[in-house]
Structure 1
């Protein structure tokens, strides 16, 4: 389908895009293209939404779920959980994966909590892993960042070289902090970069001549624009701050990842319909209208992700 052409009924992306068949709690999705197989892979927090457990144990003890798509992201098949993340003994908690490709390796940055707490307690750390095939992961390090209460890494290349990571620092009123690296292995903290409100789950991408950051502030998704990935301006209106009409999309949008496709961009996010534990992964198209990033979650659209277009426009270089 060309830009501006209405999709046919068969082309319209389904809603929800994905449900976890084990615990029905797929959250914090991220997508990456598998270089060898041509598939798209989704990594996500596999919340134990259906577990009969005490307190908030159902959001702890979580694995990183894996689903794959062979049709450009239109349909997804559950494949299991990411292997090799256990770097210490016991049953532990993994949240909010970020996966990028660089110099022949996939890199995962994932939030970690020791054990299975029944409340919001304990240290939060961001761990680094590498893989050659997206299946088996090798532990590399625990990142030394701004505190020991950090989660939700988002990573993108900088225009002048190297990489920047944005993350939530719960020890600093849940503000968004940053760190820089020349190689994805060694990181130097930059400090707080967005301090106007508590929020989490950043995703950073380049689209329509600007850099954008989208964060989850629990009342929808806040939007920031930047010319240089350093100074950020808050957009006057959030997105996904009102329920949609599609199946399972009748809740606020949460912790998303943006995927650019040349002149198009898509937002993959999760909802908690009806305020229940169960979660759905959804996708909607992003547009820039009069300099503002918009997202009409109810508008029909088609979805066929193209790896070449994604590689060209995802990262520090603005698309032409």
Structure 2
């Protein structure tokens, strides 16, 4: 009898551990199945099929030309834990493969009515003739029906003319107005600005000035470089996260216009599998008042040497996607990337 009771206890414990493992978000969350260069994740909920989608820059990390001719990869999930690769985006019916006839980076996406709208960094260059990152880029607006989230992308318009060199858009809706911010500079200028444009119809865009307060302000933050702005709303405040390549910089705002610098998160290496380097270019989804952050990590990259990634060995260039949960402590955003994430 005692042996039977002990067997039952051990069996129950095994089932409990197995269930707990199934409930925990895996690390890494995903790695691109072709070139293993999953970067710049943008998460969006699609109300048509009730899936979460992550659109990401698919760097060609295992070949020399890793930054250009890159597609936008897509994965989807019902529960934020189990993700399935569903392919690469087609734009105007072109592409859908691991090598593109143009370069696409860092998609920013919003669902509006029956459509998805993407604001993506685009450049015609597919070689390194103008440098490892190719030539100048622009932000281009595409849209697709909610029920065709991978292959249906059709160009709407360029967001600016060729006098600007830009990258890394972010988009959100406030009341009836859509806001797009992106990093860029005019031809011949050295300083990058954070541009802000708004629209009520997704067709006519109005310039709304540059970033105010602490964003892109070295005097306020002590950081001379940042990119990849991402804006989201949580707990009655707006937050902006940017990427200085030294973790993620955090700003808060009550009006999504005037930003106050909070500090840096996710700089120190984590202990989860392949989460052992600083977090890069991110996005956030708020679910049941919990905020989950998605970011890419380059686990093999040597940051300490000061050598740029294009000059490091190809074996150093692979990237994976990771997920963590944000918390608010003492009025500021924090993130313990080592905590197991469980989603009910």
Normalised by the length of structure 2, the TM-score is: 0.79
Q: 1:74 aligns with which of 81, 86, 92?
A: 81
Runs of 4+ in 1 over 6 A off after TM superposition: none
Q: In structure 2, what is the equivalent of residue 243 of structure 1?
A: 269
Q: Say if 2:222 is the partner of 1:201.
A: no
2:122 is equivalent to residue 112 of structure 1:
yes
CA contact (8 A) 1:208 1:288 kept: no
How much does 1:61 deviate?
Answer: 0.6
Q: Would you say 1:49 and 2:70 are equivalent positions? A: no
Structure-2 separation of matches of 1:192 and 1:83: 32
Quick check: 1:18 aligned with 2:30? yes
| CA distance in 1: counterparts of 2:342 and 2:92, whole angstroms | 35
| Stretch of structure 1 that moved more, 103-112 or 278-287 | 103-112
Q: How many residues align?
A: 290
| 1:168 to 1:285, Cα distance in 2 relative to 1, 3 A | same
Distance in 2 (alpha carbons) for counterparts of 1:131 and 1:175: 29
Partner of 1:157: 173
Aligned runs of 1:1-320 on 2, under 5 Å? 8-51=20-63, 53=64, 57-70=65-78, 72-85=79-92, 91-118=101-128, 119=131, 120-132=133-145, 133-135=148-150, 136-144=152-160, 147-159=163-175, 161-171=176-186, 173-193=191-211, 194-197=215-218, 198-235=225-262, 237-275=263-301, 276-303=316-343
Take 2:94 and 2:205, find their aligned partners in 1: how far apart are those partners?
Answer: 20
- 1:8, distance to aligned residue in structure 2 (A): 3.2
Looking at secondary structure, tell me which structure has more helix per residue.
2
Query: Which sections of structure 1, spanning at least 5 residues, go unmatched?
Result: 1-6, 305-320
How far apart in 2 are the matches of 1:18 and 1:238? 24
Distance 1:270 1:85 in 2: 28
Q: What's the CA shift string for 1:284-317, capped at 9, x where partnerless?
A: 000111110001101112136xxxxxxxxxxxxx
Cα root mean square deviation, aligned: 2.0
Whose Rg is larger? Answer: 2
Deviation for aligned residue 1:106: 0.9
The answer to whether the 8 A contact 1:60-1:92 is kept is yes
Structure 1 residue 103: deviation in Å?
2.0
Change (3 A) 1:238 1:102: same
Distance in structure 1 (CA, Å) of the matches to 2:139 and 2:158: 6
Please tell me whether the aligned partners of residues 125 and 134 of structure 2 are also in contact (alpha carbons under 8 angstroms). no
Checking the alignment, whether the CA contact within 8 Å between 1:145 and 1:188 is kept in structure 2 is: no
